[in-house]
């Protein structure tokens, strides 16, 4: 069991998400940066389907009531055990009564805390991922208690440390693919879309990221159509909205581009005023 002494700005339990329910209007949810979450789970030899704690910008303070192993990956938010600094991408032993806390944000925007065997939150529609209206809470609150797996880890064999690696998300290039309405725009318009350097606006969250620049005003009208995480919509006023893991399942704006899963992870580590550019790939 873990007690939340301080919740941080936005901390939640996430796994890979709810697959197979979008026809019912249920979003995918799940980890925004699945690559970093996978690293944290892999370091503990967990299944990649195990749930992790997604921590945004400012970390929580957590008291552990049981001993376990932990690993943190993604953003560097200056983690500490009992006020002693620890590293990302390394396995640590947590003893009963230890307190995990976080400090200043150094790189990235979201980090992932994995515990040996995963978090044991309620499983709804084949997922433990928090989502308002589906799970009993959408984020962690002060004094929440979270169950974790209790395992004998005396013979635990760590996969090592990855701290010498440059974080994969320290790039401003987002790989994209043509969206269903991409060819409704001229080559000149497409080139403008791909050559523009965009900045993340203050309107960014788990549901979507709005980019600040006006790029292509248009009057295209279309019926509401399916969208998925990573879909880039172009509004009539020429602004781009990039849908993320908590996004709706349909939308009425042209779907001009589609992010790859890695690009979703990279964007999830960006925040207000960070810049991005698109690099077009093909489905061939």
Q: Compute φ and ψ for 98, nearest 5 degrees.
A: -70, 150
Query: Span 173-280: which CATH code?
Result: 2.40.100.10
**Can you give the residue ranges of every domain in the chain?**
2-146, 173-280
| Other residues' Cβ atoms within 10 Å of the Cβ of residue 67 | 15
pLDDT (tens digit per residue) in 68-112: 999 999 999 999 999 999 999 999 999 999 999 999 999 999 999
- Across residues 161-171, what is the average pLDDT? 75
**Distances 69 to 26, 32, 93, 111 between C-alpha atoms, Å:** 33, 23, 5, 17
Ranges assigned E (strand) in 21-180: 52-56, 61-64, 68-76, 80-81, 84-85, 92-94, 99-101, 107-115, 145-146, 173-178
- Residue 217 pLDDT greater than 60, yes or no: yes
**Higher model confidence: residue 16 or residue 283?**
16
Euclidean distance between CA atoms 229 and 255, whole angstroms: 12
The model's pTM: 0.93
- Residue 186 pLDDT greater than 80, yes or no: yes
Q: What pLDDT, on the 0 to 100 scale, is given for residue 282?
A: 72
User: How does the average pLDDT of the chain come out, rounded?
Assistant: 93
Euclidean distance between CA atoms 73 and 83, whole angstroms: 19
* pLDDT above 70: percentage of residues in the chain: 94
- Across residues 150-165, what is the average pLDDT? 63
Q: What pLDDT, on the 0 to 100 scale, is given for residue 221?
A: 86
Contacts of 239 (CB under 8 A, 6+ apart): 210, 211, 213, 214, 215
- Residue 158 pLDDT greater than 70, yes or no: no
Q: What pLDDT, on the 0 to 100 scale, is given for residue 154?
A: 62
For tokens 């945004």, what's the residue? 56
- Residue 195 pLDDT greater than 60, yes or no: yes
Question: pLDDT class for 150, splitting at 50, 70, 90?
Answer: confident
Euclidean distance between CA atoms 282 and 284, whole angstroms: 5
Contacts of 94 (CB under 8 A, 6+ apart): 64, 67, 68, 69, 70, 81, 100, 115
- Residue 173 pLDDT greater than 80, yes or no: yes
- Across residues 216-241, what is the average pLDDT? 94
Q: What pLDDT, on the 0 to 100 scale, is given for residue 284?
A: 58
């Amino acid at each position: 069991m873990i007690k939340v002494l301080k919740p941080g700005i936005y901390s939640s339990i996430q796994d890979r998400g709810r697959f197979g329910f979008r026809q019912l209007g249920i979003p995918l949810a799940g980890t925004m940066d699945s690559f970093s979450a996978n690293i944290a789970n892999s370091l503990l030899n967990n299944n990649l389907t195990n749930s992790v704690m997604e921590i945004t910008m400012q970390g929580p303070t957590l008291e552990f009531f049981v001993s376990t192993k932990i690993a943190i990956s993604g953003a560097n938010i200056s983690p500490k055990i009992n006020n002693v600094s620890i590293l990302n991408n390394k396995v640590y032993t947590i003893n009963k009564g230890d307190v995990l806390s976080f400090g200043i944000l150094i790189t990235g925007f979201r980090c992932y805390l994995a515990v040996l065997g995963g978090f044991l939150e309620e499983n709804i529609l084949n997922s433990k991922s928090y989502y308002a209206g589906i799970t009993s809470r959408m984020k962690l609150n002060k004094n929440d208690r979270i169950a974790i797996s209790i395992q004998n880890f005396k013979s635990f064999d760590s996969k090592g440390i990855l701290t010498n690696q440059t974080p994969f998300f320290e790039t401003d290039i987002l790989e994209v693919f043509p969206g269903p309405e991409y060819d409704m725009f001229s080559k000149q318009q497409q080139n403008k879309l791909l050559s523009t350097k965009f900045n993340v606006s203050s309107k960014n969250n788990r549901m979507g990221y709005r980019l600040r620049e006006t790029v292509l005003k248009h009057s295209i009208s279309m019926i509401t159509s399916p969208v998925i995480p990573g879909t880039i919509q172009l509004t009539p006023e020429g602004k781009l909205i990039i849908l993320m893991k908590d996004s709706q399942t349909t939308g009425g704006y042209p779907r001009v581009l589609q992010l790859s899963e890695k690009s979703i992870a990279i964007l999830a580590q960006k925040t207000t005023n960070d810049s991005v550019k698109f690099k077009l790939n093909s489905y061939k």
